[in-house]
Amino acid sequence: MKLLLSSMLLALVCTSIVQSLRCYTCDDDPKCMTQTDCSAESSFCKTITTDDTLDRGCAEKCVESYYVSCCETDLCNL
């Protein structure tokens, strides 16, 4: 019985550990290689590209458009 309870507790602890998403972040930096651990609320990495700027970062919500791209895996916004 102790083994069963220990196993259940271990499974519960392991499933509740959530790692935050990692994204590249920068404000108008052409190199843009800074890696950031996003907050728990951020589910997306976002890249905004215009003729004269390049911004990357974490985002809670992301809507893709001509200038905005979104992704959901670590360091995907390169």
- Per the rule left: phi > 0, alpha: psi between -120 and 50, beta: everything else, 32 is left
pLDDT tens-digit map of 8-47 = 544 544 444 568 999 999 987 778 899 999 999 999 999 9
- Work out whether strand 68-71 and strand 22-27 pair parallel, antiparallel, or are unpaired: unpaired
* Domains within the chain, CATH numbers bracketed: 21-78 (2.10.60.10)
pTM of the model: 0.73
pLDDT tens-digit map of 43-78 = 999 999 999 889 999 999 999 999 999 999 999 999
